[in-house]
Amino acid sequence: MNDLDQLVGAAQADFAATATPAELENAKARFLGKAGQVTELMKGLAALPVEEKKTRGAEINQTKQRIEALLTERRQALADAELQAQLKAEALDVTLPGRQRGTGGLHPVSRSLERIEAIFGSMGFDVADGPEIEEDWFNFTALNTPADHPARSMHDTFYVDTTAPDGGGHLLRTHTSPMQVRYAVQHVKKHAARIAAGEAMPEIRVIAPGRTYRVDSDATHSPMFHQCEGLWIGENVSFKDLKSVFTDFFRNFFESDDLTIRFRPSFFPFTEPSAEVDIAFASGPLKGRWLEVAGSGQVHPNVVRNFGLDPERYIGFAFGMGPDRLTMLRYGVNDLRLFFDGDLRFLSQFK
């Protein structure tokens, strides 16, 4: 191998050892640059005799061309490698499933509350909302349940700020019944002029759904649960009206025309007489069983008085039902706690 072949071999090795275009340009300079080895050989020609100059000159030119060809080849190889690396880095798997935006859904109990509001709304009932931290007066006393009344012990609850200077008297409401008083008092205020003039007051017809609290926890009781209160007061409202409202409501709610209703005598301090309301389905898995769904009764004269109305003139009924229970019956859920555990495997079935 002559010196020129060696030079080509050296250039090839140097070029192959480069990893970037910049390194390759540096390697090029060592052979083809102003002070590069090929250029030096050219300069050396001047000292040769004419004949030798021709052949040697042609050989050096060939050498230069071979090195230039190697350079071009390496440039291309580096460019290709760079492109491949870039493509790999930016690889996009078009067969991957798209990222989906999760679609939420209403909680089953919220669905029931919406149904309840819609059905009672269609029967002319207003929908009212009130505080969950309630005053003792609205939760108990105004509802004919004075401080020493035994019925209070059925409502073991969460009392707050009992050490406050005014004696506190706040608690997490144990039922939605305080909304009877809050709503009725507002209503009476609004129509005070008419009432004072002895004219008939527009009827009170309201439901008040919301969260309620008791110290209670098992498969059918939760420390936080929902109730929906109802109140209908006028000059001529009777149990007959209560029964027809309930029949309409439950048939609508459960989409079952042949469901039957019964009243069972009971006791509540704020109603007299009082009744538990049971329903029975004529078909389906619960066919023929009486299921307790609400408490109700004719509003007690003491409570009507606390509304600011004359119990000799105004009469009506109230009821309280459990939307959680209704939701369990509607969907066949047997453990109340499932509603409040927040487990998406359960909740997403209602989407």
| Residue with smaller CB distance to ligand DAH, 14 or 136 | 136
| Residue 253 near ligand DAH by CB under 6 A | no
Q: Which stretch binds ligand DAH (CB under 6 A): 6-14, 47-55, 313-321, 335-343?
A: 313-321
| Residue 319 lies near ligand DAH (rule: CB under 6 A) | yes
**165 cis-preceded (ω within 30 degrees of 0):** no
Segment interacting with ligand DAH, rule: CB under 6 A, options 77-85, 115-123, 181-189, 293-301: 293-301
Q: What are phi and psi of 123, to 5 degrees?
A: -100, 15
Residue placing its CB nearer to ligand DAH in the complex, 271 or 306: 271
Select 18 or 296, whichever has its Cβ closest to ligand DAH: 296
Instruction: Give the range of 184-192, 200-208, 242-250, 317-325 binding ligand DAH by CB under 6 A.
Output: 317-325
Angle (CA) 17-19-21 rounded to 5° is 115
Backbone angles phi, psi at 91, to 5 degrees: -55, 140
Nearer residue to ligand DAH within complex by CB, 295 or 323:
295
Q: Is 134 in the site for ligand DAH (CB under 6 A)?
A: no
Distance from C-alpha of 329 to C-alpha of 6, rounded to nearest angstrom: 94
Q: How far is 150 from 267, CA to CA, in rounded Å?
A: 12
The phi, psi pair for 217, rounded to 5°, reads -160, 110
120 lies in the site for ligand DAH, by CB under 6 A: no
- Which member of 177, 252, 306, 327 binds ligand DAH (CB under 6 A)? 177
Q: Is 295 in the site for ligand DAH (CB under 6 A)?
A: yes
Cβ atoms of residues 178 and 143 within 8 Å: yes
Q: Name the strand (E) or helix (H) holding 28.
A: helix 21-32
> Alpha helices, DSSP H only, in 91-225?
108-122, 136-139, 178-190, 192-196
- 324 in contact with ligand DAH (CB under 6 A): no
Q: Considering CB under 6 A, how many residues would be counted as binding ligand DAH?
A: 11
Q: Which is nearer to ligand DAH, 28 or 300 (CB)?
A: 300
Residue 214's region, left for phi above 0, alpha for psi from -120 to 50, else beta, is: beta
Q: End-to-end distance of the chain based on CA atoms, in angstroms?
A: 83
DSSP code at position 90: T
208 is a site residue for ligand DAH (CB under 6 A): no
Closest separation between CB of residue 179 and ligand DAH, Å?
9
Residue 210 within binding range of ligand DAH, rule CB under 6 A: no
Is residue 232 a contact point for ligand DAH (CB under 6 A)?
Answer: no
Q: Which stretch binds ligand DAH (CB under 6 A): 37-45, 162-170, 196-204, 314-322?
A: 314-322
- 33 φ/ψ angles, rounded to the nearest 5 degrees: -70, 180
- Cβ at position 319, least distance to ligand DAH in Å: 5
Give the integer Cα–Cα distance in Å for 62 and 68.
Answer: 10
Q: In angstroms, how far is CA 329 from the centroid of its own chain?
A: 23
Q: Is 318 in the site for ligand DAH (CB under 6 A)?
A: yes
Nearest residue to 207 (alpha-carbon basis) of 114, 313, 127: 127
Q: Is the dihedral of CA 161, 166, 169, 172 positive or negative?
A: negative
From 178, 209, 210, 320, residue interacting with ligand DAH (rule: CB under 6 A): 320
Regarding 178 and contact with ligand DAH (CB under 6 A), the answer is no
Find the largest Cα–Cα distance for the chain: 142
Binding residue (CB under 6 A) for ligand DAH from 297, 300, 323, 339: 297
Cβ 190 to ligand DAH shortest distance, Å: 22
Give least dist CB 322 to ligand DAH, A: 8
Q: Minimal CA–CA distance to 202: which of 309, 306, 119, 121?
A: 309
Residue number, 175 or 226, with CB nearest to ligand DAH: 175
Piece of 106-114, 125-133, 243-251, 295-303 that binds ligand DAH (CB under 6 A): 295-303
Contact indicator for 74, 15 with CB cutoff of 8 Å: yes
Footprint on this chain of ligand DAH (rule: CB under 6 A): 175, 177, 229, 268, 271, 295-297, 318-320
